[in-house]
Amino acid sequence: MFKKEEGAAGNETIIANGVKVEGDFSSPGNVRIDGTVIGSVKAEGDLIVTETAVIQADVSAANAVVAGEIKGDIAAVEKLELLGTAKIHGNIACRTLTVEAGAVISGNCQVAQERAAARERTRETKVEAAA
C-alpha cells in the first residue's frame, strides 16, 4: 500500500484569504473558508468559516463553526457554533446551536432537536393511551 502522512489533505477543501470562489461550490469532505465565496456552499463534512471570510451564499454542512460574515441562509445537520465575531444575515436551521456573546444574527432561527421532539411525541402518545 502507498503510505500517506498524517495530516495530508484528503477530502479537505481550503479557501484561503485573498481567494474568491464564485458559483455552486460543494465538497464531499470538510471545508475551511478564509476567503470570499459568492453563490452556494455545500459541505458534506464540517465547515469552518473564519473571521476573514465573507460569504454571500446559502450554506449547508454537517457541523459548522462560524466566525466570519455570511449573507445567506445557513443550515447545519447537527451543530452550529457562532463565535463572537460571527455576523449572520439570513435564516438559521440546525439541531444544536451555540452562540457566543457578540455574534450578530439577523434572520429567523430554527433549532429542532429531533430526538427531543420524538421523545415528546412518544410521551404524549402514552398519556393519550393511559387516558
Partner 1 sequence: MYHYIYEAFLTDPKFAKQLSAIENRLTDLGIYGSVHRLALFKTMKGTIQDAVRRGAKTVVVVGDDGSVARAIDAIAEFPGVVFGIIPIGDKNSFAKLLGIVDAASACDILSARLVEELDLGKVNKHYFLTSLNISGAVKAECDGRYTVSPENGGEICISNFSMDPAGPGDPRDGRLETMVKTGSKGFFKSVFARARSSSGLSVFPTHNVVVRSPDNAQMTAVADGQSYQDAEFRVEVAPHRLTVIVGKDRAIA
Q: State which H helix or E strand residue 116 sits in.
A: helix 114-130
Residue 126 has phi, psi (to 5 degrees) of -65, -40
Bridge-based pairing of strands 36-43 and 63-66 is unpaired
> Which x/- pattern over 18-57 shows residues binding partner 1 (rule: CB under 8 A)?
xxxxxxxxxxxx--x-xxx--x------------------
What cell does 41 get?
456552499
Measured CA to CA, the distance from residue 16 to residue 50 in angstroms comes to 10
* Nearest residue to 81 (alpha-carbon basis) of 68, 62, 100: 100
Is 101 a binder of partner 1 (CB under 8 A)?
Answer: no
CB of 13 to partner 1, least distance (A): 6
CB of 18 to partner 1, least distance (A): 4
> Which x/- pattern over 64-93 shows residues binding partner 1 (rule: CB under 8 A)?
------------------------------
Our CB check for partner 1 shows the closer of 30 and 63 to be: 30
Is 12 a binder of partner 1 (CB under 8 A)?
Answer: yes
The amino acid sitting at 87 is K
Residues at the interface with partner 1 (CB under 8 A): 2-5, 7-29, 32, 34-36, 39
